[in-house]
Chains A and B, each alone.
Chain A
Amino acid sequence: MEHAIHPEPTTFLRKHVFSVDHKVIGRQYLILGMVWALLGGLMAYVVRSQIAWPAQKVVGASLFIDGAAGPGIVLPETFNALITMHGTVMVFFVAMPILLGAFGNFLVPLMIGARDMAFPRLNMASFWVITTASLVMLVSMFLPGGPAASGWTGYPPLSARESYTGVGLGQAFWILALALEFTSFLMGGVNLLTTAITMRAPGMTMMRLPLMVWMQMTAAVLFMLSVGPTIAGAILLLLDRTAGTSFFVPAADGSGGDPLLWQHLFWFFGHPEVYVILLPGIGVLTEVLPTFSRKPIFSYKTILWSTMVAGVLSFLVWAHHMFVSGMSPLMVMPFSITTILISVPFTLVIFALIGTMIGGSIKLTTPMLFAVGTIACFIVGGVTGMFLGSAAVDTYMHDTYFVVAHFHYTLFPTVILGGLTGFYFWFPKMFGKTLNRPLGHIHFWITVISFNVLFIALFRVGLAGHVRRIWAAVTYDYLKPFQGLNVVATWAAIAMLIGQIPFIANLIWTAFKGEAAPSNPWKSNSLEWQTASPPPHENFHEIPTVHRGAYEYSVPGSEQDWIAQDSEPSSTSAG
């Protein structure tokens, strides 16, 4: 396929704004996700400040929060809105745009040796749909009655009737924004799968694909198979909310709808969604660890099949979010067993990732530091999941800060640390500049240390029975002794936000002073590194022919310790 699939645009708007080029769209997703990450982080700061110093003025928040109690003072309804928005934003507008939207779009065509995605216009449409979703979500925060305030899980009846929260149109806008977001990623998923299956360069067999491509494909399949029931649920919730139906709201005599139905519809999607986010994060590691260990990925096929098994299992575990929901106790044990069983494929994946480093020649570049940090922190998330998967322990732990700390230990490493790993690794390719190394290292250490202090403190208060989503823990006598740890956690959150200053400084410094990046700064094998940084229009001057897998590092008898996927095999060693 040597003909141009779309001509090079000439106007600024076509080139940088309404572009159909997967590289531009990938960068747009990245910027969208990073802007939301900053907003989501600031929301967490306000939430943490309120928890540590209840009803006191939150420094710097006066401009945005001006309720009945005065500027900067967070009322309980504002608090509930902020935790709802923080969760929604971080999962749907940060994790997915960065890990799937940015990395999937930018990397997959380059890694498989294609000129663009299979459906470039659909690709552009998917970005503008999530941009619309973002605007709807933003507008929802400024409507009378405030934004949605029933948690990111939106459990009815709380979310289904205005009288329970005082939130007006905000909740309906929240549902609408999510529906649009789902639509965007359905479009993106179809596009990504079609691209990866039909547009691979000659010689790029499925088993030669970099694992990142596989992780993106598995994530897309999981998302598309799971999201349907939730979209249906969202429509029913919207009807309950706006048309007065009662799908999820029982009448006083027990007739009518059932709130548990929503929980099933939500978590049937909600759990696979965790893996939709997690797998691309693992995909980043499968590219970064071999590159900086100069070693092949350990057991390509084990990682591939394990993630697929975990993906299948993820459809059979959703009710572990509902152990104390009132669901039949008979259903609990099967879900407890499948949940705990998921630790097996992930043990294989984690040990394969660690095994990649064993016997290597490890260089702790900024992306490698973040990669190791990702695994080291994610292990804590995995181990603590065992407590919650055990239904007996969960009857105590459910809805405490232990749960909050657990899922932050799974999602923060994959989304933020994994996302930053990918960002530092592919930045030279995406933007053609070399980032500053000391600033990258400072960014890493502050982020990782503050993250651990913050959530170890929350594990501890969770064990003490600190329930989540409460405006002031000091209401309860049994939590008063733990207020000090709440303050520690809040200072750690503040440190984490301050720790992003070196990152932003790095971006500004690089924009002005960064050296031009070579095409393959890390001496990596996969195809995206075998073209210019940033890649030219339509990616490759000539579509490469692939001769081997992506992980041929330190091959015995070879002069250099890497062999590009498209380099011609020499007559002596047919790879």
Chain B
Amino acid sequence: MFNWFPPEVSTFGQDIDSVFWLIFWLGLAGFLIAEGIILFALIYYRRGKGKKAAYIDGNSWKQASWILIPGAIVLCLDLAVDFAGGHAYHEVKGELPASDVKVRVEGEQFAWNITYPGPDGLFDTADDKLMLNQLHVPIHHPVHVYLRSKDVIHSFFVPTLRVKQDALPGREIALWFEADVAGQYEIACAELCGPNHYTMRGFLNVHTADEYAAWVGETWGDN
């Protein structure tokens, strides 16, 4: 199949992609049918000598079924899309699974302030660590992100995770993800946030368990 998306590295990424492909194939079929009929009409019913148009006003139920049946089919497909999409959406934005890995990501013109709560697991305590644009998380482990903004609206977007969430001033929004491939991935800002919006680039570092333990040790010392 086509490989149109960036690599997918989160537990729910596959589910989002599969909703895309469901809509894609349904939409492609609808598109080809509709465009095919247009093309057929243009060729087959082009004006010619001796050809006369039929008087069809589509007002009887029998004639109108020509459009009512496609309408009914689309209604059924809509429901299928709603159910498939609803499931995936619930997975991504529903209740957060329990986790002890928490980070606070605060957008600011034009950087991501990423705060780690440290060994006590609590924010706003002495062992917090603040890093600019570098998000470190363990692999195969749910991560809670508490999203905030210091000034305008930003949008925390990690294409490889299929995660996007606006960061708003004045409120904190919780989201989660679980990465399943180690590596470094880019974080983009998806909401216009001012002149240097395009520079608001961060990095998600997904570490293997050993690497992560090493990073924690290095950052907070072995106490």
Residues of A at the B interface (CB closer than 8 Å) are 75-77, 80, 149-151, 155, 157-158, 164-166, 249-251, 254-260, 293-302, 324-326, 329, 332-333, 336-337, 340-341, 343-345, 347-348, 350-352, 354-355, 357-364, 372, 375-376, 379-380, 383-384, 386-387, 390-393, 395-396, 398-400, 460, 463-465, 467-472, 475-478, 551, 553-556, 561
Contacts and interface: CB of A to CB of B under 8 A. Distances in A.
A379 B170 CA distance: 41
A53 to B, nearest CB: 15
Nearest to B31: A383
A326 B68 contact: no
A166 B63 CA distance: 60
A383 to B, nearest CB: 4
The 4 closest A-B pairs by CB, nearest first: A250-B170, A299-B58, A465-B159, A392-B88
A354 to B, nearest CB: 6
Interface in B71-116: 71, 74-75, 78, 81-82, 84-89, 92-94, 109
Contacts of A390: 19, 23, 81-82, 84-85, 89
30 contacts: A75-B195, A80-B197, A255-B170, A294-B53, A296-B56, A298-B56, A299-B58, A299-B59, A299-B64, A299-B67, A300-B59, A302-B64, A336-B85, A336-B86, A341-B78, A344-B75, A347-B71, A351-B71, A357-B45, A361-B47, A361-B48, A390-B81, A393-B23, A464-B4, A464-B5, A467-B190, A469-B192, A475-B199, A553-B55, A554-B54
Contacts of B64: 299, 302
A296 B190 contact: no
Contacts of B63: 298-299
B181 interface: no
Contacts of A293: 45, 53
A551 B170 CA distance: 57
Given A259-B153, A355-B67, A359-B56, A155 B190 contact: no
Contacts of B70: 347-348, 351
Nearest to A155: B153
B186 A478 contact: yes
Contacts of A344: 71, 74-75, 78
A295 B53 contact: yes
B211 interface: no
B168 interface: yes
B152 interface: yes
Contact of B198 (A296, A471, A556): A471
